[in-house]
Amino acid sequence: MTEESWKPRELEILQLLAQGLTNNEIAARLHLSQETVRWYNKQIFGKLGAANRTQAVQRASEQNILKGGGLSQSKGQERGAAGEVRYVSNDGIHLAYRIIGDGPVDLLFIHGFLSNMEIAFEEAEYANFFEALGKFARVILFDKRGMGLSDRVGGAPSLEDTMSDALCVLDAADSTRTFVMGTSEGGAASVLLASTHPERVRGLIIYSSTPKLVKTDGEPEWADDEATFEGSLERIREQWGGPWAIQNFCPSRAQSEPFRAWWAKVLRSSTSPSEASAVLRVLREIDIRPLLPQVHTRTLALHKVHDRIVDVGAGRYFAAHMPNVKYVELPGADHFFFIESRQIVEEIAKFVQEDPNALSDTWIGITLYVNLPEIQRKEKALRVEMKEGRAKSMFFAQDEAVAVFDSPSRAIQCALKLREIVRDDAFRVSLHVGECDLESGKPAPSVVDVARRAAKAIPPGKAVLTQTLRDILAGSGVVFDLRQIHVDEKKPDAISLYTLT
């Protein structure tokens, strides 16, 4: 047992066990539920290799733990206890993060498109929400790049940026496995983080989130139409600095002057009106609906039935299309997660405490497909370039090669470099995103089939990506030809392609 293995709450409960207190007495003393105390006991027994509390106390005494001589707080514990703002650099972008609470599991919290970790905690209900979570979890918060206390950067972050930043923050917080919770627009990034890195994620929680923000050709019916979306952008330009859209974000507090003043301050301290508009324009292009049936991560989806920002139909869509989801509709119209949050906290507590701690056997990867006659002549060069691009796995057979990546941008850069290296008129390359086997790294046959059909549909020498991949690349800076290539347009499994420039 290493020094860093213990958390302050575990030591506190261990001391009370040694004093002979029952679970009920410990729960009352620490203001925890009895279920949470039993959960802590299980963690403590596991660390000590004990079968019961008597054995646990004996072994803790033998290791000098109860006297405090055998343990010191880790870096993460010190941060968790104080909750102060810290910074970590992700390739030169400084990200602000903080840790609240010291529960036995980690919970990464990803906000929507606005946050400022300092100003937000000036509101008591906001602070109380995270204090409640911190009783059963170590909650890790961060401001996205360009937002709040993090570095302001030109342009809005892409989903890939947010996932990369989240992993960087988890590393800084010494978190190897975590629950991930995304609210509002943070839901899409949370879904992708959980499904592309299942080895780091124990479970997924999404609150009042949407897989698609704005309708395309009138679909889906629960998303905003273009006129409504553009109206929101216009009101940002006109009203930023005041309590913008408070009547929709939080109708139950919309007439409270202190709350209105707090919300206006959060807006001003989070970002500028032009940057807020830029973030929303990127979010408008994102659509993760095709991926949801392939996301096997254990999921809790929460949505207030009269939410005025994200229609409850979005929550019901998650419920209908994700294979391992528990869906809970809540009363109320407030979009904010921290208003009337008792039931929200209770559902989250139950979800993390019932955690089977089992890995999904699949993950969502970016598949790069190459078609080239007599590919064995170029196999060595292809393997070198794929390895340089940090492909997770590679497979060669006859005239085909497949590589799988956990980064869309690296997969695309690899495809373009392969095109430069091979310089063969018969060379075709396509990119798609979808389910892969966790153990072997192989994409599902249906994923390879789409990539194969895409490659066959394009002229030799071209590189294309599918609509599904394109829809999660908004804000990434990847340049592609806006003229779509439709494959089998009249069939149910039609695909649309975009050529890379």
| Domain spans of the chain, in order of start | 3-62, 75-211+288-353, 362-500
Quickly tell me which residue has 């343990």 as its tokens: 71
- What average pLDDT does the segment 389-407 reach? 94
pLDDT of residue 74: 40
Tokens at 84, concatenated: 């102060």
**Angstrom distance (rounded) from CA 100 to CA 106:** 10
Written in H, E and C, the secondary structure of 215-242 is CECCECCCCECHHHHHHHHHHHHHHECE
CATH T-level assignment (fold) for domain 362-500: Alpha-Beta Plaits (3.30.70)
Dist. CA 42–CA 159, nearest whole Å: 36
Interval 456-466 mean pLDDT: 85
Q: Please give the CATH topology (third level) of the domain spanning 3-62.
A: Arc Repressor Mutant, subunit A (1.10.10)
Q: Are 487 and 453 in contact (CB under 8 A)?
A: yes
pLDDT tier at 491 (50, 70, 90 boundaries)? low
Element (H, E) at 143: none
**Portion of the chain with pLDDT greater than 90, in percent:** 65
Higher-confidence residue: 306 or 357? 306
Cβ neighbours of residue 283 under 8 Å, at least 6 residues apart? 113, 156, 185, 188, 213, 474
CB of 348 within 8 A of CB of 181?
yes
Please check the confidence at residue 419 and state whether its pLDDT lies above 50: yes
Alpha helices in 100-216 (DSSP H): 124-133, 159-172, 186-196
pLDDT in tens, 284-338: 999 999 999 999 999 999 999 999 999 999 999 999 999 999 999 999 999 999 9
Q: Looking at residue 430, what is its pLDDT?
A: 94
Q: Which string of DSSP letters, residue by residue, matches 299-360? A: EEEEEETT-SSS-HHHHHHHHHH-TTEEEEEES-----TTTT-HHHHHHHHHHHHT------
Output the pLDDT for position 484.
61
Cross-strand bridge partners of residue 300: 205, 326
CATH architecture, range 75-211+288-353: 3-Layer(aba) Sandwich (3.40)
Mean pLDDT of the chain: 89
